[in-house]
Chain A
Amino acid sequence: MLGEKELISGCAKGERAAQRELYDRHCRRLMAVCLRYAKNAPEAEDILQDAFVKIFKNLKTFRFESKLDTWMTRIVINTALNHQRQKLYLLPMVDVDEAGLHEDEKVSLADFHLSELIAMVQALPDGCRVVFNLFAIEGYGHKEIGELLGISEGTSKSQYNRAKSLLRSKLETVKVKYGKV
C-alpha cells in the first residue's frame, strides 16, 4: 500500500493506478459531503466527479501545508458551491428571532437513520441548505459565509435560522409519524 506522499506523487505524474487508489481511499467520505450539498444522489455524484477531476489536475500544486483530507474537502465544497451558485438566490430575509427558537433536547438525531437525516438536509431550499452546511457542519462563521457566497452576514444568519427551523419541524414531524422519541 502506497504512503500518502508516494500516492500524491504518482497522481501528480498522471499515473492512473495511483489516481484510482486515491479515489478509492477518499470517495466515500467525500460522497457524504456531496450528498449534503446536493439535492439528490445523481447531483452529488456529478459534484464528486468534477471535484476529483479538479483534485487530480491540481494535486501537483498541493504543498503539504494542510492535511490532504482538508484540502480535498475544500475542493469538494467549492465545487459544490459552484454547482449551486446559479441556483442560489439568497434573498435577504427577515431575521428570525434566535430567542424564539427553543432547543428541543428531546429529539435525538441518533433516533434517525443517516439516510433520513441526509434526505432532510437535501429537502431544504438551496440557499438554506448551503448556509446550514457551511455554518453547522463545516464551522464557518456567518461573516465568512457572507464573503464566500457574496451575501450579507444578516442574510446568512436569516438563511441559517430558516434552515434550523425547517429541520426542527421536519424532525418533529418524522418523530410523531414513526413514533421516534
Chain B
Amino acid sequence: MGKFEQRWREVFESTEFSPSESVWANIDRDLADADGERMKNRIVLYQRVAAASVLFGLLIGSLGIYRWAENNNQVVHNEPLEKASRSIGDEKKITDKKSPLASTELSDNKDELSGAVDGTESRNEITSSKLNSLIFLNRPKINSEALSVTRNNRNLNEKSRKQIFNQPIESVNEIASNRKINLYREGKFSEIAFGDLADLELLPIPQIKEGPIMVEIVRKLPAIPGAFMIHEDRKTVHEQVWASVTAASGSYSPNTNSYSNYSYSASQSSSGFNSAPVIGSSYSFGMLAGMRVAKRVVLQSGIQYLNQSINSNTNIGSSNSLAPVASSLYSTTPNYPTTNPYSINSANEFVSVPVQAGYLFIDRKVGLQLNTGVSTDFFIRNTLSDPSGQRQSYSQSAGQDSPYRSVNFSGLLSSEVSYKVGSRYRISVVPGFHYSFNPVLKSVSNSSGNPVAWDVGFRFRYILR
C-alpha cells in the first residue's frame, strides 16, 4: 500500500455525513410495505386453506354419496354365493315367478329331449345354480350336440321336473353328490357328477347355426337387510344441542376514507410521501351454543370478542402524541399539527353477539352447512398506536362524546365444513364474511363506508345431546 492510498484512507476512515430525514421516512415506508406484504401473503395462505377445506369437504361429501350408492348396488348385485345356494328352493320360486318363459321351455322339453336322444330335434339347456342363473339356448333342429340335465339318469319329464324343483336341497355339495348329469355329445351319453358341471365347456356361439337364440338371465334380488334401515333412521336423532368454542382470523377492510385522512397533510408534502393504507387484519374468538330446530335447520348464537385493525401512514400528530390523529377523524377543518411521516395502527375492539341460522347440506360424519345471520357488535374501544413506539398509544371508547358508535349491526355469511370425532365432538373449518350494516364512526365524522371482514375460523363442538 502506497502513501497515496494511505492518505486517502486516513481521510475517509472516520468521516461521517448526516443523511436527510427523508431517508428514514422512506426506509420506514419500505419496511411497512414489506410487513403489509407479509400480511397479504398470510391472508392468501388463509384463503387457500379455506378453499382447500371447502374442496376437501365437497370431495369427502361426493365420496360419501358415491360410496353409499355403491354399497346399495353391491347389495343388489353381489349377494354372496353361499346365501344364494342355501336357498335354492327360493330360486325355483323366483325362476317360476320371474320367468314364465323358462317354465314353458322346461315343460316343452319332455318331448324335445326324447328327440335329442333319438338324434332328432333337441333343445340345449345350460343350468348352473352356482352362477345363480339359468340360461336357455333355444335352438331347434340341433343334430350334432345336445346337453340335457336329468336326475338319476332319467330323462327329464314333467314328473321329474317337479321332483327337482319341489324337493328341498340343502347345499351345493348335496347337489353334487345326489345328482348325475348325462352329457349327450357326438351321438352318445356320458355320465358326469353334477359338481363337475362348471367344467363343462359351453357351446361356442359361432357353432350355433340358424334359428333365434334366446338368452335369459335370472338373478336373485335379495331384500336390503333391516339393519340398514335402522341405521338410516338413527342418524337424524343425534346432535340436537351443542356448545362450541370458536376462533377466526382474516382480512379486514374499513371501506372508509378516514384512514386516508390520517395522511391528509402527508399527501401535500414536498417529499411526495405515498400514504395508501395497507390491508387490515381481523381476529375473533368466543363461545357459541346451537340447537337443531328441524331435520336440516340449526340455530346458533353466543358471544365473541372481535378485533379489527389496520395499518396506515400519516404525518398528522406531534412527535410524542397521537391525539391529533384521533381528533382529525371528526374535525371539519384540516388544521392539524404535522410531523415527519410515520406508521400508525388503528384497532377497533367489539363484543359481538351473533345469531345465525344454518342449513345442513350434508349431515353425516362429514358435515357441510351454510350459515347466515346477523350480529350485534358492541363497541369497546379504538386504539391508535405507533408501531415504532415513539408515540404514546391513544384510546377512545364509545359514548356520547365519542366519534364511534356504541352499537353496530353486521350481516354474517359463512360455510361450515365439519368432521365428527367420536360420538360427542365435531371440529369445523368456517370460512365467512362479516359485513357491517353501518360505519363504525358516527355520521358527524369524516367517514363513511361499511367495514367488511373476511376470515377463516375453526370451531370445536361438544355435543350435549
Mark contacts of A7-40 with chain B using CB atoms, 8 A cut-off: 1 yes-contact digit, 0 otherwise.
0000000111101100100011101100110000
> Other than the known A16-B387, A109-B10, what 19 A-B pairs have Cβ atoms closer than 8 Å?
A19-B31, A20-B390, A23-B24, A28-B17, A32-B16, A45-B23, A48-B19, A49-B26, A53-B27, A56-B27, A56-B31, A105-B3, A108-B7, A109-B7, A117-B8, A135-B5, A136-B5, A136-B8, A139-B9
15 contacts between A and B (CB under 8 A): A16-B387, A16-B388, A27-B19, A28-B17, A28-B19, A29-B15, A31-B16, A32-B16, A32-B17, A45-B19, A52-B23, A53-B31, A103-B2, A136-B4, A137-B12
* Contact of A85 with B by CB under 8 A: no
Closest partner residue, chain B, to A28 (CB atom): B16
Q: Is B18 at the interface (CB under 8 A from chain A)?
A: yes
Q: Is B170 at the interface (CB under 8 A from chain A)?
A: no
Q: A103-B2, A135-B5, A137-B12 are in contact. Are A31 and B26 (CB under 8 A)?
A: no
- Chain B residues with Cβ below 8 Å from A137 are 5, 8-9, 12
Kindly state the interface size class of chain A when it binds its partner.
Answer: 20 to 34
Interface residues in B8-48 (C-beta closer than 8 Å to A): 8-12, 15-20, 22-24, 26-28, 30-31, 34-35
Q: Does A2 contact B (CB under 8 A)?
A: no
Tell me, in angstroms, the Cα distance from A95 to B390 when the chains sit together: 56
B247 to chain A, nearest CB (A): 24
- Report how many A-B pairs have Cβ atoms within 8 Å: 87
> Is B281 engaged at the interface, CB distance under 8 Å to the other chain?
no
Given the complex of chains A and B, what is the CA–CA distance between A20 and B8 in angstroms? 31
Residues B8 and A16 in contact, CB atoms below 8 Å apart? no
Q: Using Cβ atoms and an 8 Å threshold, which residues of chain B touch A29?
A: 15-16
Bound-complex Cα distance A78 to B389 (A): 31
Asked if A83 lies at the interface with its beta carbon under 8 angstroms from chain B, I say no
User: Is A180 close to B, CB under 8 A?
Assistant: no
Which residue of A is nearest B7, CB measured? Answer: A109
Interface centre among A31, A36, A168 (most CB of B within 10 A): A31
**B389:A17 contact, CB within 8 angstroms:** yes
B-side interface size class = 20 to 34
Q: Which of A23, A44, A135 contacts B27 (CB 8 A)?
A: A23
Q: Which of A120-153 contact B (CB under 8 A)?
A: 135-137, 139
Q: How far is the CB of B3 from chain A (nearest CB, A)?
A: 6
Interface residues of B (CB under 8 A from A): 1-5, 7-12, 15-20, 22-24, 26-28, 30-31, 34-35, 343, 387-390
A103 contacts which chain B residues (CB < 8 A)? 2-4
Give the distance in Å from the alpha carbon of A36 to the alpha carbon of B16 in the complex: 11
Using an 8 Å CB-CB cutoff, how does the interface string of A99-123 with B read, 1 for contact, 0 for none? 0000101001100001001000000
Chain B interface main SS type: helix
CB distance from B36 to the nearest CB of A (A): 12
Contact of A175 with B by CB under 8 A: no
A31 to B16, CA, bound (A): 7
Instruction: Tell me whether A87 is interfacial, beta carbon within 8 Å.
Output: no
Nearest-neighbor residue (CB-CB) of B386 within chain A: A16
CB nearest to B15 among chain A residues: A32
From known contacts A135-B5, A137-B8, infer whether A49 and B17 are also in contact, taking CB-CB under 8 Å: no
Q: Select A17's contact among B11, B19, B388, beta carbons within 8 Å.
A: B388
Taken together as a complex, chains A and B put the C-alpha atoms of A32 and B18 apart, in Å, by: 8
B7 neighbours in A (Cβ, 8 Å) = 108-109
Minimal beta-carbon separation of B375 from chain A (angstroms): 33
A164 on interface, CB distance cutoff 8 Å: yes
Q: How far is the CB of B39 from chain A (nearest CB, A)?
A: 12
Chain A, residue nearest B388 (CB):
A16
| A74 interface residue (CB < 8 Å to B) | no
Give Cα A120–Cα B66 distance, bound, in whole angstroms: 81
Taking the closest CB of chain B, its distance from the CB of A6, in whole angstroms, is 14
Chain B min CB distance to A36 (Å): 7
A60 at the binding interface (Cβ < 8 Å): no
CB <8 Å contact, A14 and B11: no
Query: Are A20 and B12 in contact, CB atoms less than 8 angstroms apart?
Result: no
A109 touches B16 (CB 8 A): no
Nearest B residue to A138, CB-CB: B9
